Amino acid sequence: MGDLLTSLTLARADVDRAAERRSDPAWLDATWADPATRVLVLHRGKARVVGEEPRLLLAEPSQVEHDGVRVLLAVHEGTAYVALLVDGAVEPFDEDARWEGLREVGSLLSGFESSLMVAAVALANWHAGHPRCPRCGVPTEPSDGGWARRCPDDGSQHFPRSDPAVIVLVIDDEGRALLGRRAEWSEGWYSTLAGFVEAGESAEMAVRREMLEEAGVRVDRLDYLGSQPWPFPASLMLGYHARLAPDSPIARPDGEEITALRWFTREEMAAGCQDGSVRIPPPVSIARRLIERWYGAELPGSWSRP
């Protein structure tokens, strides 16, 4: 097995999430009233950032009056970092700031700030999509510092979920990589193949099934290379290199999700990216890192699709 990928863009920094404080309402209330607390306002998936090298614009609690779900994100060097997840209209409090999404700024923020934003986006998606109790249907209330929801009728508690998905670069015995184009993509955009782990399935089973379904190929040896959250809306991407089995059928796109497949040598991919006929995924994605691991080097930002 290869060394795991390190410093994946959306999983660069371990942050102290101070989970022990989530069940301490008095501490949470005091923290929300403390002017030293820093608030990340997340509005429909976007945060305010400032600067050419983007930084999150964090507010004092008194500067944010909006209604929204409050989340304890972290305690770092004595400072509490919280998120306010807002769906309604928001007033700008700094005209130099701009609203940016995680896909746009995730790779540009510091590891710490990126981790804060990933958690805020993941929780915002979950809260928005799970307003009611799955047992009895009544509206639930956020609890535990924003990391759960509780049903007022039956007392049941519900927690955020992550949906595991496998993402795979298939490599043949000549060292070529199999990349595919999704139906909704522009001409020339290529990436690794991916799919969700289904109920009752292991990650390895999902890799073998998805490669057969999407590309018609059989793979044998799998190298697990790492994972990163992908909260669009709730995925956890498990990254693999997979070896094309000697008896595999020829690669053939399924024609629905994947409309083109191509085996690339390193030279072919580089030539295509340089003349603009091929585009690969952006650095924020684990797909990019799986491709770079195969290629053997970090690749230029200009080779990314938009």
**Site for Zn ion contains 153 (CB under 5 A):** yes
Among the candidate windows 63-71, 113-121, 123-131, 136-144, which touches Zn ion by CB under 5 A?
A: 136-144
Tell me whether residue 158 or residue 243 sits nearer to Zn ion (CB atom): 158
Among 102, 117, 133, 290, contact with Zn ion (rule: CB under 5 A): 133
Tell me how far, at minimum, the Cβ of 139 lies from Zn ion, in Å: 9
Compare residues 83 and 133 and give the one whose CB is closer to Zn ion.
Answer: 133
Residue type, 30: A
The nearer residue to Zn ion, 135 or 221, going by C-beta atoms, is 135
Q: At what angle do helices 266-275 and 286-295 cross, to 10 degrees?
A: 120
Q: What's the closest the beta carbon of residue 133 comes to Zn ion, in angstroms?
A: 3
Size, binding site for Zn ion by CB under 5 A: 6
DSSP structural state of residue 68? -
Look up residue 49 and give its two tokens. Answer: 């950032």
CA 276 to chain centre: 27
> Residue 276 — left, alpha, or beta (φ > 0 → left; ψ -120 to 50 → alpha)?
left
| DSSP letter for each residue of 138-193 | PBPEEEGGGTEEE-TTT--EE----EEEEEEEEE-TTS-EEEEEETTSPTTB-B-E
Nearest approach in angstroms of CB 131 to Zn ion is 12
Bridge partner residues of 48 (DSSP): 99
Instruction: Assign 279 to helix, strand or coil.
Output: strand
| Among the listed residues 72, 75, 151, 273, the single contact to Zn ion using CB under 5 A | 151
Cβ 138 to Zn ion, closest distance in Å? Answer: 5
Contact window for Zn ion (CB under 5 A) among 35-43, 61-69, 144-152, 211-219 = 144-152
Q: Where in 66-125 is the site for Zn ion (CB under 5 A)? A: none
Query: In this structure, are strands 163-171 and 235-244 parallel, antiparallel, or unpaired?
Result: parallel
H/E stretch holding 229: strand 219-230
With tokens 């301490």, the residue in question is 24
DSSP H/E element including 104: helix 102-105
Under a CB-based contact definition with an 8 Å cutoff, are residues 242 and 178 in contact? no
135 touches Zn ion (CB under 5 A): yes
∠ CA(65), CA(71), CA(76), 5° rounding? 105
141 binds Zn ion (CB under 5 A): no
Per-residue tokens: 250:
């020829």
Closer to Zn ion by Cβ: residue 154 or 256: 154
Binders of Zn ion among residues 154 to 173 (CB under 5 A) are 154
Q: How far is the CB of 136 from Zn ion (least distance, A)?
A: 3
Give yes or no for residue 149 binding Zn ion (CB under 5 A): no
188-217: contacts with Zn ion (CB under 5 A)? none
Residue number with CB closer to Zn ion (149 or 176):
149
Exposed (0-12), middle (13-18) or buried (19+): which is 76, by Cβ within 10 Å?
A: middle
Residue 92 or 137: the one with the smaller Cβ distance to Zn ion is 137
Choose, by CB under 5 A, the member of 136, 183, 205, 271 that binds Zn ion. Answer: 136
**44 is an interface residue for Zn ion by CB under 5 A:** no
Query: For Zn ion, which stretch binds (CB under 5 A), given 1-9, 151-159, 171-179, 204-212?
Result: 151-159
Toward Zn ion, which CB reaches closer, 30 or 136?
136
Contact positions toward Zn ion, by CB under 5 A? 133, 135-136, 151, 153-154
